[in-house]
Amino acid sequence: MLKRSIAAEGLKLRHSRIWLILFVLPSLSILIGCANYYLNQGVLHQEWYSLWTQVSLFYGEFFLPILIAICCSYLCRLEHQNHNWNSLMAAPISPAHVFLAKLAVLGILLFFVQIFFLLLYYGAGKLLQLSSPFPLETLGWIFKGWLACITIASIQLGLSLRIRSFATPIGICLCAVFMGLGMYLLKLGMFFPYSLLTIGMGILQQKCIMGSENLLFIIMNLLFTILFSFISIYRLKNTDITA
């Protein structure tokens, strides 16, 4: 049943315009970051790492969280129209499958977005004629960033399921991102879900988290994802959604 629910969510996106956003926002991040790098090469001397600081700052701190929030709102948009929630909740599909199918589709979309961003980053470095070896740490940043994306998606999806407005969850996400930046600067980023993207992608500090810190990062992502998924599924089961 879960596979069928995932397939149904995928069908909703087949002819949608969400694909345009998935390609435009990472591309815009790369363009802005590359322009900054090109104009400041006098003070940016670490080539690939310096380029990463520029492109990941705009991507990981602003465009990617907004992209996640947009995708979550879009996945719930059809259900909020024409009383479709009534039909969906009356169907022989468990609330858990409804939520998990949407989260699975989001995870797949965000994985491809991360890979697309990685390819753009590599291509940009070659166009800028960076001579140093490509940093393998980037692969870890991309994967850990994806884990953090799923954590944020589990929260945003829960908000979008409850809030009919398309824009309100996106606004909440943007506010939470700024709070997450503050928590990161206070060295409390591991305990705030919207800070995990900054940590995982090495946005402000270009180093791979290792050992116990790496384990804590993975555990916190799992805990937050399970917690917020449980809350959303519980609310779907026990409270009525305004259709």
DSSP string, the chain: -HHHHHHHHHHHHTT-SHHHHHHHHHHHHHHHHHHHHHHTTTT--STHHHHHHHHHHHIIIIIHHHHHHHHHHHHHHHHHSTTHHHHHHHSS--HHHHHHHHHHHHHHHHHHHHHHHHHHHHHHHHHTT--SPPPTHHHHHHHHHHHHHHHHHHHHHHHHHH---SSHHHHHHHHHHHHHHHHHHTT-GGGSGGGHHHHHTTSSS-----HHHHHHHHHHHHHHHHHHHHHHHHHHHHS----
Instruction: Give the range of the structural domain holding residue 62, as residue numbers without chain letter.
Output: 2-238
Domain count of the fold of the chain:
1
* pLDDT score, position 163: 87
- The answer to the question of residue 162 being in a domain is yes
- The answer to the question of residue 121 being in a domain is yes
Below-70 pLDDT ranges, the chain: 1, 80-92, 206-209, 239-243
- The answer to the question of residue 95 being in a domain is yes
- The answer to the question of residue 232 being in a domain is yes
* pLDDT score, position 42: 82
List, for residues 25-83, the tens digit of each pLDDT value. 999 999 999 999 999 888 888 899 999 999 999 999 999 999 999 999 998 887 766 56
* pLDDT score, position 81: 67
* pLDDT score, position 155: 97
- The answer to the question of residue 243 being in a domain is no
- The answer to the question of residue 99 being in a domain is yes
- The answer to the question of residue 60 being in a domain is yes
* pLDDT score, position 89: 62
* pLDDT score, position 88: 62
